[in-house]
Amino acid sequence: MPKDDFIAAGSKAAGGWGALKSCGKQLLKTGKPFAGARAMLHANQPDGFDCPGCAWGDPEHGSSFEFCENGVKAVAWEATKARVTPDFFAAHTVTDLRGWTDHDLEHQGRLTHPMRYDAATDRYLPVDWDDAFAEIGAALRGMKPDQAEFYTSGRASNEAAFLYQTFVRLYGTNNFPDCSNMCHEASGVALTDAIGIGKGTVQLEDFEKADAIFVFGQNPGTNHPRMLADLRKAAARGARVVVFNPLKEKGLQRFADPQNKVEMLLGGSEPTSTDFFQPRLGGDMAAVRGMSKVVLAEGTLDHDFIARHCHGFDDWRAAVEATDWPQIEDQSGLTRAQIETAARIYMQAGSVIATWAMGITQHRHSVATIREIANFMFLRGNIGRPGAGLCPVRGHSNVQGDRTVGINEKAPAALIDAMERELGVTLPRREGHNVLAAIGAMLDGSARAFVGLGGNFARATPDSPLIARALSGLDLTVHVATKLNHSHLLPGRASFILPCLGRTEIDKSPTGIRQIVTVEDSMSMVHGSGGINLPASAALKSEIAIVAGIAAATVGSDVVDWQAMAADYDLIRDMIARVLPGFEGYNTRVRQPRGFWLRNPAAEREWRTATQRATFSADALPEATEWQGRGEGGFVLQTFRSHDQYNTTIYGLDDRYRGVYGERQVVFMNPRDMEAMGAAPGDRMDVIGPAEDGVERVALGFRLVPHDMPQGCVAGYYPELNVLVPLSMFGIGSDTPASKSIPVAFRKP
């Protein structure tokens, strides 16, 4: 067999028949294809559930169906008829299960019963809900609150997250490590300082009005496929869609809309971008600064906006003028001529949107890079008017909402004040732990408990082997989850898996009322979500009921009547409305079709920054990016997602758009680099990560895949390559693991 038989030409365009075929396959895999198909018709519809796939907004005038191939995968994954029952746990020791892959674990299906770890038999055994809550409560009461870490993954609803933060703060800590610490934290930090709110300012309608859309560091074809339809529409009406991505991602070139009958019959596809630039990893700040240099030299600025709304322009201008072209070209990997081309598109456009995701946020200099994007947009007043603005495209479907409702280790004073007024008690104000601090506390022994509201902490975090040791050294680990994953297989002294309802499932109150939850998308639209499928098991509880159960057993029900809250989510929303600005009339407004828009002051040119203005930041370019600092034979590695995965959930082994089939142990590389190493496509190589701290980091036997990308930059899949990401490499000001710029080298096995 040829050694590169897993590589084939990728699809010609994103979407199209390949996407439809894949949808069909995914629905068949559920074992209940008709229920799955029916479920999809309710995805992102006013009467249905919010698709758990991504955080892209829903259009005002919904098409007859509003979902995508990867939304189908996410729903099918949850709607599977496979089950992980107590019998499954009886048949396998935890040590045995630790040898399984992520893919094999999750494919066993939905968790059905609450389970408690039994060290004597090395197995999880069934436990009653009430016993589990009582034991967890007793364990938490037996430690200092700051010794416990309360993780949140961004799928949790506003109601679950709000109740969780209420409980955790009443218990006495602000330890809220959160998946967004590994995701868009840099966007939150940078935008809060620049525009006074850590969120984007555009709405979906703005994509219909923009003259140019600059897309930095994201792969919507896989990760927010519904965005492709908006990009394509923009390109078709003559807007410029300017992409910055080291990889020529398929979805950012052409898209065949599976919801367009004519196109599907004729096999056509349309461009999703008009201009494509391939910077080096971590080179975007230089590229954006280069564009600003051109605009400052030859463009028309929005002097009125700068004078009336901005602070710090002169300092920033001086910093830009002091940055020389050789540094900009070397760092960005783009030529001055390319940067001038992009800058002229910006200058000619009346209104511009800038979007970005992990290709920008997961670097050491991501906060400064996002500030630079904001600087660039301020130049021509491209914020707070139709068709213009900043748009960090969020990851998990409710990661933005979780932050809004209080999952925040920094304990914002306004939130704590309001919570204290509401509850009539004093709450902690000291800063708690983010992901990095939580890991530090676990490693140095000061943390004793981990509670995870969803997610897969052990696999999503850097330095996986270290984290595994840290988690299994704890006194208590609790995982609220839908499916079995590796984090559950690192039990502390007492350990529980608490299975919950998924978002697609009917959630009935004790009196038989069908409950809805709410979520917030990347465009700050808050809307309802109610499941339509029968629960995977009669023993499941909702996340809210589980949080309420743990809370009641830990802090008692004197201050908050947890059971009443869990019985009627309207009561939780009423409390949110009393505590958080912008949620007035929550219960009424969320029942309107498509929900409501959470007011964003920056979108109306009201700046809640320290200077009360939109604030330029005059950071210098990094002295050297990881690419510039690489040594002899060195490369810089980014870890990203394949088309067949949702974070640590691996649906399948194909990456159709990039032409890789049946294999995840791969590294994408420029063919010239491959040749220079004397290697050929399909060769297996060991990838060696940083070891300055004495920790050996190696990923064994990864196969090389040639790809159109800058030399010296390579790419491969997370979570497999997390063994190479050191805890010590993280974003300045964001603490986000720098999982898109890891210095690596290769060696023949």
Ligand X SMILES: Nc1nc2c(c(=O)[nH]1)N[C@H]1C(S)=C(S)[C@@H](COP(=O)(O)OP(=O)(O)OC[C@H]3O[C@@H](n4cnc5c(=O)[nH]c(N)nc54)[C@H](O)[C@@H]3O)O[C@H]1N2
Question: What helix, strand, coil percent values describe the chain, rounded to 5?
Answer: 40, 20, 45
Q: How far apart are CA 193 and CA 214, in angstroms?
A: 22
Q: How far apart are CA 686 and CA 745, in angstroms?
A: 8
Please report how close the Cβ of residue 503 comes to ligand X at its closest, in angstroms: 6
**Closest residue to Mo ion, based on beta-carbon distance:** 395
Nearer to Mo ion, 180 or 253 (CB): 180
| Displacement of CA 59 from its chain's centroid (Å) | 21
Strands (E), 589-724: 596-597, 614-615, 635-640, 645-646, 649-650, 666-669, 684-688, 698-706, 713-717
The answer for residues whose C-beta is within 8 angstroms of residue 462's C-beta and 6 or more apart is 722, 725, 726, 727, 729, 737, 739
The piece of 58-66, 177-185, 299-307, 489-497 that touches ligand X (CB under 6 A) is 177-185
**Contact track, Mo ion, 162-201, x by CB under 5 A:** ---------------------x------------------
Q: How far apart are CA 228 and CA 247, in angstroms?
A: 17
Is residue 245 a contact residue for ligand X (CB under 6 A)?
Answer: yes
The piece of 17-25, 575-583, 626-634, 646-654 that touches ligand X (CB under 6 A) is 646-654
Is residue 395 a contact residue for Mo ion (CB under 5 A)?
Answer: yes
Please report how close the Cβ of residue 246 comes to ligand X at its closest, in angstroms: 5
Helix (H) or strand (E) holding 574: helix 569-579
Q: How far apart are CA 505 and CA 421, in angstroms?
A: 35
The one among 26, 70, 522, 529 contacting ligand X by CB under 6 A: 70
Q: Which does 219 bind (CB under 5 to 8 A by kind): Mo ion, ligand X, none?
A: ligand X
Q: Six-digit token pair at 389?
A: 């603005």
Three-state DSSP state, 532: coil
The one among 165, 398, 648, 734 contacting ligand X by CB under 6 A: 648
The piece of 32-40, 128-136, 259-267, 358-366 that touches ligand X (CB under 6 A) is 358-366
Q: What is the SS3 assignment for 250-314?
A: HHHCEEECCCCHHHHHHCCCEECCCEEECCCCCCHHHHHHHHHHHHHHHCCCCHHHHHHHEECHH
18 phi/psi in degrees, rounded to 5: -55, -40
Q: How far apart are CA 603 and CA 600, in angstroms?
A: 5
Nearer to ligand X, 419 or 438 (CB): 438
Q: How far apart are CA 51 and CA 77, in angstroms?
A: 12
The answer for residues whose C-beta is within 8 angstroms of residue 460's C-beta and 6 or more apart is 179, 182, 647, 648, 719, 722
- Which of 489, 454, 447 lies closest to 470 in space, CA to CA? 447
| Size of the residue set binding ligand X (CB under 6 A) | 60
Q: How far apart are CA 213 and CA 170, in angstroms?
A: 44
Is residue 536 a contact residue for ligand X (CB under 6 A)?
Answer: no
Q: Which does 740 bind (CB under 5 to 8 A by kind): ligand X, Mo ion, none?
A: ligand X
Q: How far apart are CA 622 and CA 364, in angstroms?
A: 9
Question: DSSP H helical segments within 662-704, as ranges?
Answer: 671-676
Query: Tokens 């461009």 — which residue?
Result: 271
Nearer to ligand X, 145 or 246 (CB): 246
Please report how close the Cβ of residue 378 comes to Mo ion at its closest, in angstroms: 27
Query: Tokens 């559920």 — which residue?
Result: 30
The one among 49, 164, 176, 244 contacting ligand X by CB under 6 A: 244
Q: How far apart are CA 24 and CA 69, in angstroms?
A: 9
Please report how close the Cβ of residue 655 comes to ligand X at its closest, in angstroms: 10
Please report how close the Cβ of residue 144 comes to ligand X at its closest, in angstroms: 25
Residue type (1 letter), 131: D
The piece of 244-252, 324-332, 669-677, 697-705 that touches ligand X (CB under 6 A) is 244-252
Nearer to ligand X, 595 or 716 (CB): 716
Nearer to Mo ion, 312 or 395 (CB): 395
Is residue 739 a contact residue for ligand X (CB under 6 A)?
Answer: yes
Q: Are strands 614-615 and 310-311 parallel, antiparallel or unpaired?
A: parallel
Q: How far apart are CA 412 and CA 426, in angstroms?
A: 14
Q: Which does 289 bind (CB under 5 to 8 A by kind): ligand X, Mo ion, none?
A: none
Please report how close the Cβ of residue 306 comes to ligand X at its closest, in angstroms: 26
CB burial of residue 302 (10 Å; 0-12, 13-18, 19+): middle
| Size of the residue set binding Mo ion (CB under 5 A) | 2
Nearer to Mo ion, 583 or 718 (CB): 718
Nearer to Mo ion, 183 or 419 (CB): 183
Binding to ligand X (CB under 6 A): which residues in 656-715? none
Is residue 161 a contact residue for ligand X (CB under 6 A)?
Answer: no
Nearer to Mo ion, 433 or 641 (CB): 641
The answer for residues whose C-beta is within 8 angstroms of residue 504's C-beta and 6 or more apart is 39, 49, 52, 75, 78, 79, 531, 532, 533
The one among 158, 355, 554, 722 contacting ligand X by CB under 6 A: 722
Is residue 395 a contact residue for ligand X (CB under 6 A)?
Answer: yes
Is residue 457 a contact residue for ligand X (CB under 6 A)?
Answer: yes
Strand partners, 725: none
Strands (E), 303-424: 310-311, 352-356, 389-392
Nearer to ligand X, 427 or 467 (CB): 467
* DSSP-assigned letter for residue 145: G
The piece of 135-143, 392-400, 631-639, 676-684 that touches Mo ion (CB under 5 A) is 392-400
Q: How far apart are CA 510 and CA 608, in angstroms?
A: 43
Is residue 464 a contact residue for ligand X (CB under 6 A)?
Answer: no
Nearer to Mo ion, 79 or 183 (CB): 183
**Contact track, ligand X, 97-116, x by CB under 6 A:** ---------x----------
The piece of 92-100, 253-261, 318-326, 454-462 that touches ligand X (CB under 6 A) is 454-462
List Cα–Cα distances, 432 to 151, 176, 407, 739, in angstroms. Answer: 12, 7, 11, 23
Is residue 219 a contact residue for ligand X (CB under 6 A)?
Answer: yes
Nearer to ligand X, 74 or 579 (CB): 74
Please report how close the Cβ of residue 747 comes to Mo ion at its closest, in angstroms: 31
Nearer to ligand X, 357 or 470 (CB): 357
Is residue 480 a contact residue for ligand X (CB under 6 A)?
Answer: yes
The one among 253, 323, 351, 456 contacting ligand X by CB under 6 A: 456
Task: State in Å, rounded, how far the first CA of the chain is from the last one.
Answer: 20
Give me the residues that bind Mo ion (CB under 5 A), please: 183, 395
Q: Which residues bind ligand X (CB under 6 A)?
A: 53-54, 70, 106, 153, 155, 179, 182-183, 216-219, 222-224, 244-247, 249, 279, 281-282, 284, 357-359, 362, 395-396, 453-457, 460, 480-483, 485, 500, 502-503, 543, 638-641, 645-649, 718, 722, 725, 739-740
